[in-house]
Amino acid sequence: MLTKKQKELLTFINERLEADGVSPSFDEMKDALNLKSKSGIHRLISGLEERGFIRRLPHKARALEVIRMPETTAATHPSVPSDKRGAGFQPNVIPGNFAGPKIARNADAAVEASQAIALPLYGKIAAGTPIEALQDPNRTVDIPSSMVGRGTHYALEVDGDSMIEAGINDGDTVIINPCEAADNGTIVVALVDGEEATLKYWHRQDGRIALKPANPAYETQIFPEARVKVQGRLVGLIRQY
């Protein structure tokens, strides 16, 4: 799911590449989308790249390549392998579709289906959509009750590979505990400018917030603290095999 602005930018870039063979400049993109600054374009580009619609070509100025359009499923270039792993956060992975006792990374996570609870499934998380806009009370996902503690929780589908070195793959389902603050190094759902939510490592320093990916193919995004809010922290993960 892309936002309206992401779709507009992707279409504009694709049309310019087809017409001229050269991607438009950031100033041209800003003017085409009627944005006030190029920072908004940087954020939209990062969101499109994270979702696998475009890629930046290294060592070339203004070099963007459209990999796929929203209505297309096939990509012209292979993405980063989904089974790539990295150090750092070690998610408590629960195999999906459990119908009886299952073995997870933590022995305590092996449960019977009768101990499952239903959490609301709010949709896909990447740089793109506020959590409030994703809420759908008709969608739920069953998880082991031992996976969550007290309080409320919700689930999100991971869209993109920006956190693969934290063991979070495209297509995984993450379990989120709503909160408004987080310690440095925590993986959180962060809302930028009240418009775009993303799953990243959270770091605060000197009045600025760094949202760090766990994939060297993506850049850390840094914002003034007032522009970013925590909407929840990662507490678990479900993977379909």
Same domain, 218 and 150: yes
Same domain, 13 and 101: no
Number of neighbouring beta carbons within 10 Å of residue 221: 20
Report residue 184's pLDDT band, with 50, 70 and 90 as the boundaries: very high
Spatial neighbors of 94 by CB under 8 A, at least 6 apart, are 102, 104, 109, 143, 144, 147, 236, 237, 238, 239
Same domain, 115 and 230: yes
Q: Among all residues, which ones are annotated catalytic?
A: 162, 200
Which residue reads 């792993």 in tokens?
A: 85
75 assigned to some structural domain: no
Same domain, 110 and 40: no
Determine the average pLDDT of the residues in 160-187: 89
Residue 241's pLDDT is what?
A: 64
59 assigned to some structural domain: yes
The one-letter code for the residue type at 185 is G
For the chain, the domain total comes to 2
Q: Which residue has the higher pLDDT, 162 or 108?
A: 162
24 assigned to some structural domain: yes
Enter the pTM of the model: 0.57
- CATH of residue 190's domain is 2.10.109.10
Look at 61-65, 94-98, 206-210 and tell me which has the smallest mean pLDDT: 94-98
- H-run or E-run covering 142: strand 140-144
Range of the domain at 23: 4-66
- H-run or E-run covering 19: helix 4-20
- Reading the block at residue 167, the tokens are 């063991």
pLDDT at residue 55 greater than cutoff 60: yes
Sign of the CA dihedral 111, 179, 201, 189? positive
Same domain, 148 and 205: yes
Same domain, 103 and 161: yes
Contact at 8 Å (CB) between 17 and 62?
A: no
Same domain, 164 and 227: yes
Q: For all residues of the chain together, what is the average pLDDT?
A: 75
Determine the average pLDDT of the residues in 221-239: 90
Same domain, 129 and 196: yes
Same domain, 121 and 224: yes
Same domain, 155 and 204: yes
